[in-house]
A and B are shown apart, each in its own frame.
Chain A
């Protein structure tokens, strides 16, 4: 039992580090995953009898290497086998040093994995799932549920992405500037998407998606450690921590949805908010603002209600303006309208919402929810009713649906 938990701990901590070492030498994620998977299987078989080796990670690498050599024998052309042979030789060198921890011999190469998984040559829809599978070792079934795709379709997508990496020889490297900024943004976006996929279900106890938010935060922490001089990495982590701080305030005891402005701030996590603030302050010292720093700053402004009792709405409006200049997303525009409404300017909020193109917002739920609130504030009750109904029809969240249907009936009674 003790051995098993030792293996689990190594798998949690070291899987991605070991995979990075193997994959960046073979250029083949699938082969690297198989080789490492075999190594962990062998550990489960042998360690309970023989005891945990003195250098478990070197042991695992040695087994993975033998598997690569076998694989090379099976490959018919020399061309295919070349990288495998070279990889095996390099892994030999690591093993030969006999250090207790291979990470003291080779640098942490997980960054390369993150950049490969989010490479622009890979289908956008595959990037976050690929990252979750490769870097965190999550199984495809769980990822499929989080992203609302059929498990078989997701598996195919992952296989295709790995084949693309191998056949197109997408390099396992950390890009250099000037490319770095764009490439880093796709890494950050993928982690943010992972958090978002876990967010909707995070309020439901023992939902399989619940842990996805924690996994995303863990990835953001790893990224920050690997790139300590990138303010956007700090910004992303600060943003996620601010969101995470409010998890237990998003629903009341009966499971009813509570909008951000009405949440009980005593339920917000002080330690997480403080941590977020520290990271954001550290980011701003670089004086290189960016999308995630601005998003974190907006959340930080919301968080200040826990300390001052009031939300600085005009400051938030200003931050959204800055954000929209560099990242004019539909979600950003809708959130900006929400801030305008809260700052006491419903007319401007309505203008902002109506400036958005119709086909872009037809099925965008937050747009209709914001529109309903805005129209209600302006006293256009029957129009508010229609918008709230539309928003209710588009949500996947039962608590949000209940909240909006209440808005529909209150709008209807006001309209009479």
Chain B
């Protein structure tokens, strides 16, 4: 069964990507993804630029509405995701809890469509 693990990061997390703490930030994420690879569960993964770089678009009554930044102005923003293949939700939650952002922001686990096998 495949699950997407969505990493929601705090403002401090995004800030830590560059600057004096960047080494420990990236080190922790590297350690985490490497563990998933070595366990043979990781199918895919990607890391997103900070939310300020995002642009949102909506069609409203035929007109385009373009907006700077992400849709919802929440405390935690999507910072990246991985797709893992594990037997069940309990196993997926186990991996989710190991993500560095589980301690600093939040992590959501979502089953993928069409990957129930």
Name A's B-contacting residues (CB within 8 A). 148-150, 153, 362-363, 389-390, 392-398, 401-402, 404-405, 408-409
Question: Given contacts A389-B31, A405-B24, A405-B31, is CB(A394)–CB(B90) below 8 Å?
Answer: no
Contact of B34 among A148, A149, A393 (CB under 8 A): A393
Q: Once the chains are docked, how many angstroms separate the CA of A405 from the CA of B103?
A: 15
Q: Judge whether B97 is part of the interface by a CB distance below 8 angstroms.
A: yes
Contact with A along B79-91 (1 / 0, CB 8 A): 0000000000110
Q: Once the chains are docked, how many angstroms separate the CA of A390 from the CA of B38?
A: 9
Contact of A402 among B24, B39, B89, B94 (CB under 8 A): B24
Are the C-beta atoms of B98 and A396 separated by less than 8 Å?
A: yes
A-B contacts, 27 of them at CB < 8 A, read A148-B93, A148-B94, A149-B89, A150-B93, A153-B89, A153-B90, A362-B39, A389-B30, A389-B31, A389-B34, A390-B38, A392-B32, A393-B32, A393-B33, A393-B34, A393-B35, A393-B36, A393-B98, A394-B98, A395-B98, A396-B103, A398-B103, A401-B100, A401-B103, A405-B24, A405-B28, A408-B27
Question: In the complex, which residues of chain A have a beta carbon less than 8 angstroms from the beta carbon of B56?
Answer: none
Q: Which of B35, B36, B100, B103 has the most CB of A within 10 A?
A: B35
Question: In the complex, which residues of chain B have a beta carbon less than 8 angstroms from the beta carbon of A397?
Answer: 103
Question: In the complex, which residues of chain A have a beta carbon less than 8 angstroms from the beta carbon of B32?
Answer: 392-393
> In angstroms, how far is the closest chain A Cβ from the Cβ of B104?
7
> In angstroms, how far is the closest chain A Cβ from the Cβ of B107?
11
Are the C-beta atoms of B89 and A390 separated by less than 8 Å?
A: no
Q: Judge whether B48 is part of the interface by a CB distance below 8 angstroms.
A: no
Grouping DSSP codes into helix (H, G, I), strand (E, B) and loop, the A interface class, with mixed when no group exceeds half, is helix
Question: In the complex, which residues of chain A have a beta carbon less than 8 angstroms from the beta carbon of B31?
Answer: 389-390, 392-393, 401, 404-405, 408
Q: Judge whether B102 is part of the interface by a CB distance below 8 angstroms.
A: yes
Q: Once the chains are docked, how many angstroms separate the CA of A148 from the CA of B33?
A: 20
Question: In the complex, which residues of chain B have a beta carbon less than 8 angstroms from the beta carbon of A390?
Answer: 31, 34-35, 38
Q: Which of B23, B28, B32, B100 has the most CB of A within 10 A?
A: B28
The 3 closest A-B pairs by CB, nearest first: A393-B35, A393-B31, A398-B103
Question: In the complex, which residues of chain A have a beta carbon less than 8 angstroms from the beta carbon of B24?
Answer: 402, 405
Contact of B97 among A148, A150, A392 (CB under 8 A): A148
Given contacts A148-B94, A393-B35, A393-B36, 19 further A-B contacts (CB under 8 A): A148-B97, A150-B89, A389-B27, A389-B31, A390-B35, A390-B38, A392-B32, A393-B30, A393-B31, A393-B32, A393-B33, A396-B98, A397-B103, A398-B103, A401-B31, A401-B100, A405-B27, A408-B31, A409-B27
Closest to A204 in B: B103
Q: Once the chains are docked, how many angstroms separate the CA of A405 from the CA of B23?
A: 10
Question: In the complex, which residues of chain B have a beta carbon less than 8 angstroms from the beta carbon of A405?
Answer: 24, 27-28, 31
Closest to B102 in A: A396
Are the C-beta atoms of B97 and A396 separated by less than 8 Å?
A: yes
Q: How large is the interface on B (under 10, 10 to 19, 20 to 34, 35 or more residues)?
A: 20 to 34
Interface residues of B in 61-111 (CB under 8 A from A): 89-90, 93-94, 97-98, 100, 102-104
Closest to A147 in B: B90
Q: Once the chains are docked, how many angstroms separate the CA of A153 from the CA of B89?
A: 9
Closest to A412 in B: B27
Q: Once the chains are docked, how many angstroms separate the CA of A57 from the CA of B66?
A: 66
Are the C-beta atoms of A148 and B90 separated by less than 8 Å?
A: yes
> In angstroms, how far is the closest chain A Cβ from the Cβ of B13?
12
Q: Once the chains are docked, how many angstroms separate the CA of A402 from the CA of B24?
A: 8
Question: In the complex, which residues of chain A have a beta carbon less than 8 angstroms from the beta carbon of B97?
Answer: 148, 396
Q: Once the chains are docked, how many angstroms separate the CA of A217 from the CA of B106?
A: 31
Question: In the complex, which residues of chain A have a beta carbon less than 8 angstroms from the beta carbon of B28?
Answer: 392, 401, 405
Q: Once the chains are docked, how many angstroms separate the CA of A409 from the CA of B24?
A: 9
Q: Once the chains are docked, how many angstroms separate the CA of A69 from the CA of B69?
A: 62
Question: In the complex, which residues of chain B have a beta carbon less than 8 angstroms from the beta carbon of A395?
Answer: 98
Question: In the complex, which residues of chain A have a beta carbon less than 8 angstroms from the beta carbon of B102?
Answer: 396
Are the C-beta atoms of B39 and A363 separated by less than 8 Å?
A: yes
Contact of B90 among A149, A392, A402 (CB under 8 A): A149
Are the C-beta atoms of A149 and B30 separated by less than 8 Å?
A: no
Closest to A200 in B: B97
Question: In the complex, which residues of chain A have a beta carbon less than 8 angstroms from the beta carbon of B36?
Answer: 393
Q: Which of A153, A397, A398, A401 has the most CB of B within 10 A?
A: A401
Q: Once the chains are docked, how many angstroms separate the CA of A392 from the CA of B29?
A: 9
Are the C-beta atoms of B39 and A149 separated by less than 8 Å?
A: no
Closest to B88 in A: A153
